[in-house]
Amino acid sequence: MNEQLTKRKIQAEGTKRRIYETSIYLIKQNGYNNVSIDEICMKCGITKGAFYHHFNSKEDIIVGIGTDMNYDMQDYYENILYEKDNISKILALTKYYFKFISAIGLDISRQLNKIIVDGKHGYFISGDKNIEKILWDSIIAGQKSGEIKKHLSVENITFFIHSLVLGISMDWCANEGDYDIEEKGCKAFCELISIIKA
């Protein structure tokens, strides 16, 4: 009985992953507003009921992308944790974010920004894997090591960095992605770093 449940669970996870990946592919190809749940189901060879068993809406796919981004950034951060000073870690994390936004493209980035502004998904995840917590911890460590000015509050520095990153992402979307977000984002971030660096 347990073996049967395990096989069923593995199959269900496979179906969910297939729906998720197919949805992302279709959205990248055709645009979020031009892809229907019917089209996703047809491409996956599943019923609408199967889609709704795994996702409440097409928006859930976008939330999944945001969640994956947060987890990917956490994994990336853990890989650079022992390699660089704290300012370099924050810069590397910021570069990774802009690279991710560039890779998912304009349309999906717009949808992510809408969800962030809407606020009903708690910025995708919370707790130890939240990007703001990663920034917060790096700033504290940077102040303790003397890399970051101690008279600036951790809360304000985190707010500045977070606002800069989200603001550039939203500006890039508003400007139809007409500039290199990685290049412009990192340049702006380096200017902010020059202000907070001890």
Whole-number Å distance between alpha carbons of 145 and 97? 25
What is the predicted pLDDT for the residue at 132? 77
Which residues of the chain form CATH 1.10.10.60? 1-55
What is the predicted pLDDT for the residue at 162? 85
Of 99, 68, 112, 63, nearest in space to 181 by CA: 99
54 DSSP 8-state letter: H
What is the predicted pLDDT for the residue at 49? 93
- By CB atoms closer than 10 A (0-12, 13-18, 19+), residue 61 is buried
What is the predicted pLDDT for the residue at 4? 58
Per-residue confidence in pLDDT tens, the chain, 198 aa: 455 568 778 788 889 999 999 999 999 999 999 999 999 999 999 999 999 999 999 999 999 898 888 888 888 877 776 667 889 888 888 898 899 999 999 999 999 988 888 876 655 444 444 677 888 888 999 999 999 999 999 999 988 998 899 899 999 999 999 999 999 999 999 999 999 998
CATH 3.40.50.2300 for domain 1-55, yes or no, is: no
Its pTM stands at 0.83
Which residues of the chain form CATH 1.10.357.10? 58-196
Handedness of CA 136, 141, 143, 148 (dihedral sign): negative
Whole-number Å distance between alpha carbons of 27 and 32? 5
Whole-number Å distance between alpha carbons of 135 and 77? 10
1.10.357.10, 3.30.56.10, 3.90.1150.10, 1.10.10.10: which CATH number matches 58-196? 1.10.357.10
Look up tokens 């269900």; give the residue.
12
Residue 185 in contact with residue 94, Cβ under 8 Å? yes
What is the predicted pLDDT for the residue at 142? 94
Of 155, 151, 136, nearest in space to 89 by CA: 136
Residue 57 in contact with residue 112, Cβ under 8 Å? no
